[in-house]
Amino acid sequence: MTSIASRRPKLSPPEGELAPGARQARTQRLVRAALGRHPIGMLFSAPYAFFIALLFAYPLGLAVWISFHRYFFAAPGVSVPRPYVGLANYEAVLEDPAVRQAFLNIAIFMVINVPLTVILSLLLATALNAVIPFRAFFRTSFFVPYVTASVATVGVWLFMFSSGGIVTNVLGPLAPHPSWLINEQWAMPTIAIYVTWKGLGIFILLYLAALQSVPKELYEAAEVDGASWWHRFRSVTVPGVRQVTTLVTLLAVITGANLFTEPYLLTGGGSPNGKSTSPVLQIYETGIEQNHPDFASALGVILVVGVLLIVGIQQLVQRRQA
Amino acid sequence: MKSRIALAAAVPLTLGLLAACGGGGGVSASSAADAQGPISIWYSNNTQEVAWGEQMVASWNKLHPTEKVTGQQIPAASSSEEVIGAAITAGSEPCLIYNTAPAAVPTFEQQGGLVSLSSFPGGAAYIEARTGPGASVYKSPDGQYYQMPWKSNPVMIFYNKKIFAKAGISTTSPPLSTYTEFLATSKKLVSSGAAKYAIYPDPSSDFFQAWYDFYPMYAAETGGTELVENGKSTFNSTAGDAVAAFWQQMYAEGLAGKGSYTNDPFADGTAAMAIVGPWAIASYQGKVDWGVVPVPTTAGSHGDQVPTFSDAKNIAMYASCKNRGTAWDFLKFSTSTAEDGKLLTMTGQMPMRQGIQQLYASYFTANPSYQEFAAEAAHVIEVPNVANSIEDWQVFRDAWSKSVIFGQQSPDAALAGAATQINKLVASGGTP
C-alpha cells in the first residue's frame, strides 16, 4: 500500500542549490576523483612523488621553460633580461651540423649496442642457466665490468685499442688504420662494443631471473616432440623472456641516449672530428662550459622527445606482436 | 581521474614557473665593499700550491684573528671553470679563487659573478704597480680589472735528455729552433726507436687544448699577437697557416700522438718532448732528466725573449663575498713581495710581478733551470679578453681537430672558416 505522503511529488531545491545529501555525495565524488579510492595511498606515495617532482619534474619543467627563452646562468640577485624567443633555440639546435652529427652518432651506437646487448645477454644467460662447470665464476666474471668504475675500465680499453695496443697487435694487418678510437669509421662502433661489454652483467642477471620463470614442462614437452636446442630456444626461451627483452631494449635505448662518459673518456670528447660525440656531450659543452643553457635545454628536450618516440614505437610493435 | 592528471601536470609546471621567477638574494655590494670579517678562499689542487696556500692562510690567520680565512682546494671536476660557473649560479662561491682562468673571466663577468677590483681605493694602481704595463691585457672592455694577474707558466718545449742522447741528438743544444729542425729532430727520435712519439700534446677536443699546441707557437711566430685583436680574429694569416702546417705534418707523419692517453706521455717516456709550462716540473721529478728550449718558429727562435702563451692563473673576487674589505686586504697580503717569493720557491711558477729575476735572484741562482721561464715570463701573451671567449676557443679547437689532427679538411680552409665564425661571435658582444 502506498501512502499519500509517499505519492506526493518530491520538491526540487531551488536552482543552484543542492540537497544536503546530494552535496555530500558530490563532495565525496570530488575527493575520490582527486585522491582515489584509498586516499591513504597518496600519503604513502607522497615522499616518492615529492622526490620525483623535485629532482625530475622540476628540472624538466625548467628545461622546457629555458628552451623557449634567451637564458644564461647568472649569480643570485643579478637581474638579467630573459626574453621569450619562441622556437629560436630549437631552430639553432636543428641547424647545427654538430648536433646532427651527434644524433647520427648515437643512431649508429644504438644500431650496434641494442641488438648486441639483447642477443649476447640472452645467449650468455641461457648458457649460464644450464648446468656448466664454474657457473658461479662465470656469473661473477660477467658482472665485474658492470660494478667497476668506468674510468678504470676505460683506461684498460685505451691501452688495448691504442695503435700499439694488444688488440691492434693481435689483428696485425687486419686492424684499422688509424687505430680504433681515432678512426672515423671505428670510433663509435668501438664505444658501442665497450658499452655493451660493460653493461652486459646486469642484463644477464635480468635474463637469468626471467629464465627461472619459464616452465620446465615446456622444455620437456618440446624435447618429447623432438625439438632441437635451437628450436627449444626459439620457441620456448625467447617468448618466455619477452617481457625482459622489452625492458633490456628500453634500458639499452636510454643508455644510448644518455651516452656521455664513454666518448668523453675514450675519445677525448668526441674525436675524431666529432664522429663520436653525443647529444649529452653537446649539452655539457654548450650548457655548462659555454653558458648557453637555452640551446642546451632545447637539445635536451629534443632528446627526451626522441627517446619517448622510440620507446613508444617499440611498445606499439611489442603489443601488436603480443 | 582527469583531475588527478591535471594535478600531476600542474606540479612540474608550477615548480618550473617558480624556478623561472626565483633566484633572488645576492649580496649588497655597498654594504659588503668595506665589510671586515671571516672569508673563505679556494686554491688549486696541485700539491705544491696546496702547501703554499695552507702556509699563506696560516700566516694571515696568525696576524688577523678576527678576520679568519678558511682555505680549501677547489672542488674536483673536469675543469675549474665549470665548478666556478656552477658556484656563481648557486651563490656558493668563496670570496677569492686563486685559480681563475683569464679565458673564463668574460663569462663570469656576464653572470654577474665578479667584483671589480678597480672599485677598491687604489685597486687598479696596486695591480699595475705589481705587474707593470703587462697588467693592461687583463682589463675588461669596460676598463675595470675583474682579475688580479697572479702567476704565469710560460709554455716552452721540454725535452727528455736521456731519450735525446739515445737518439744521438745533442742534449745541451738540441736542434729545435726552426720548424725544419724540429721536424728533423722529431723524425730522428721516432725512427731511432728512442721514443714512440716525438711530442704528444693532448689531442682531445677540450676548448683549452689549443693553448698547448697552436697558441704558444702562434705567439712566437707572430711576435706576440693574440687570437683576437681589435674585435677580429688574427689567425687566418700566413703565420697561422704556417703553425697549422707544421702540426699537420707532425700528426701526418706519426711524430705526434693522436689518441687519448691516460698518463703523462712525457713523464712515462712515450714522448720525447712536451709543450708545457713550469708547473709540470714537479711531476717530472725523479722521472725525467729534462731540458727546456723556446717554442720553434719558421725563422728560428733563439734566446729567452721568444713570445709564448702565459698559461696564467689569476685571482678574482666573487660576488657572494660579504666581507670584501677583508678579501681585498687578504688579496694584497697574498700577492705581497714575501708571498710571491714563497709562491716561486714552493711551486716554481712565476709570480706576475715586475723584475722577478732581480727580486728573487738567490732563488734563480740556486735553480738556474728556472731562469729561462723567468725571462720568458716578461714576453708572454694572454688569451683575448673578449665576449664568448670559451666558445671562440671551442670553435677554433674543432676546426683544428678536424683539419690539423685528423686531416679531414685543409688547415687553411678550416682556419678561415673558424675565423669567420669567431668574428661573428665576438661581434655579437656576449649575447648568448
* Chain B residue numbers touching A64 (CB-CB < 8 A): 16
Give me the interface pTM, i.e. the ipTM.
0.80
User: In this predicted structure, what is the pLDDT of residue B429?
Assistant: 73
Query: Min CA distance, B73 vs chain A (Å)?
Result: 21
Helix (H), strand (E) at residue B409? none
* A289:B82 CB<8 A: yes
Pairwise CA distance, residues B420 & B386, whole Å: 15
Taking chain A, what is the end-to-end CA distance rounded to the nearest angstrom? 60
Write out B303-352 in H/E/C secondary structure: CCCCCEECCCEEEEEECCCCCHHHHHHHHHHHCCHHHHHHHHHHHCCEEC
Which of B3, B112, B398 lies nearest to residue A33, judging by beta carbons? B3
Q: Is the peptide bond before A178 cis (omega within 30 degrees of 0)?
A: yes
B24 has pLDDT over 50: no
pLDDT for residue B72 is more than 80: yes
B168 Rama sector, left if φ>0, alpha if ψ -120 to 50, beta otherwise: left
**Nearest to residue B272, comparing CAs of B164, B156, B165?**
B164
Quick one: cell of A249?
631494449
Q: Is residue B16 pLDDT above 60, yes or no?
A: no
Mean per-residue pLDDT for B52-79? 94
- Cα dihedral across residues B207, B209, B214, B215: positive or negative: positive
What the block records as the C-alpha cell of B241 is 697557416
Dump pLDDT digits (tens) for B135-162: 999 999 999 999 999 999 999 999 999 9
Q: Do A271 and B86 make contact, defined as CB atoms within 8 angstroms?
A: no
Q: What is the mean pLDDT of chain B?
A: 90
Give the pLDDT confidence score for residue B274 in this predicted structure. 97
B313: β partners: B151
Angle, helices A97-129/A88-95, rounded to nearest 10 degrees = 70
Pairwise pLDDT comparison (B261 vs A97), residue with the higher score? A97
How far is the C-alpha of B225 from the C-alpha of B387, rounded, in Å?
18
- Cα atoms found within 13 Å of the Cα of residue A25, Cβ hemisphere only: 5
In this predicted structure, the answer to whether residue B6 has a pLDDT above a threshold of 50 is no
Question: What's phi and psi for B314, nearest 5 deg?
Answer: -115, 175
pLDDT higher than 80, residue A10: no
Cβ of B405 within 8 Å of Cβ of A271? The answer is: yes
Higher-confidence residue: A115 or A13? A115
Residue B171, burial from CB neighbour count under 10 angstroms (0-12, 13-18, 19+): middle
Element (H, E) at B387: none
How sure is the predictor about B430, in pLDDT bands with cuts at 50, 70 and 90? low
* For residues A142-169, average pLDDT: 88
CA A199 to chain centre: 13
On the question of pLDDT at A168 being above 90, the answer is: no
* CB neighbourhood size of B304 (10 A): 18
Distances (CA, A) of B180 to A26, B190, B305: 91, 16, 21
Task: Report pLDDT for A12.
Answer: 52
A-B interface: how many C-beta pairs under 8 angstroms?
A: 169
What average pLDDT does the segment B92-117 reach? 95
The pLDDT value recorded for residue B327 is 97
Mean pLDDT of A76-90: 93
> B165 and B174 in contact (C-beta within 8 Å)?
no
**pLDDT at residue B188 above 60?**
yes
pLDDT of residue A309: 93
A108: its cell numbers? 649508429
Task: Identify the pLDDT of residue A49.
Answer: 92
DSSP helix/strand/coil, B292:
strand
The whole-number average pLDDT for the span B358-368 is: 94
**CA–CA dist B279, B297 (Å, integer):** 23
Interface test with B, best of A289, A294, A295, A297 (most B CBs within 10 A): A289
Check if A58 contacts B (Cβ < 8 Å): yes
Average pLDDT over residues A214-222: 92
Mind telling me how many Å the CA of A228 is from chain B's nearest CA? 48
> Which residue, among A294, A305, A306, has the nearest Cα to A62 in the 3D structure?
A294
> What's the predicted TM-score (pTM) here?
0.83
Report chain A residues whose CB lies below 8 A from the CB of B261: 158, 162
Q: How far apart are CA A11 and CA A9, in angstroms?
A: 6
Say whether residue A65 is in contact with chain B using an 8 A CB cutoff: yes
Weakest mean pLDDT among A88-92, B26-30, B72-76: B26-30
pLDDT(A139) > 70: yes
**pLDDT tens sequence across A90-132:** 999 999 999 999 999 999 999 999 999 999 999 999 998 887 7
Q: Which residues of A touch B111 (CB under 8 A)?
A: 72-75, 78, 291
Strand B228-229 and strand B308-309: the pairing is: unpaired
